[in-house]
Amino acid sequence: MGLFDSLFSGMDTRTKLSPQESFAGILLAASACDGHISEDEFSQLLTSLFRMKLFRRINEKQFDQVMNKLMGVLKKHGAESLVDGCVDTLPEELH
């Protein structure tokens, strides 16, 4: 079982994070790297993501599901583990 499998247990192991999920996860982890993410930091993160072309085709419900999943991993495993889980599925062009 790889890191991704243990981080996102409960998900279908054949499912990989989408580029949007991976990118958002890394930004979320960076925002929370000091051990805390303020409401203002989270709000600015959301504003930045919504402005990106990468997120244009994701509706609000899908975006909420992505952020809830990523926040769950962040709270349970920490920022470093979230980044590790996202890096593997982040497309090269988003590095």
- pLDDT cut 70: percent of the chain above it: 84
17-58 pLDDT, tens digit per residue, is: 889 999 999 999 999 989 888 999 999 999 999 899 999 998
DSSP the chain: --HHHHHTBTB-TT----HHHHHHHHHHHHHTTTS---HHHHHHHHHHHHHSGGGTT--HHHHHHHHHHHHHHHHHH-HHHHHHHHHTTS-GGG-
- Chain segment 68-89, per-residue pLDDT in tens: 999 999 999 999 999 999 998 8
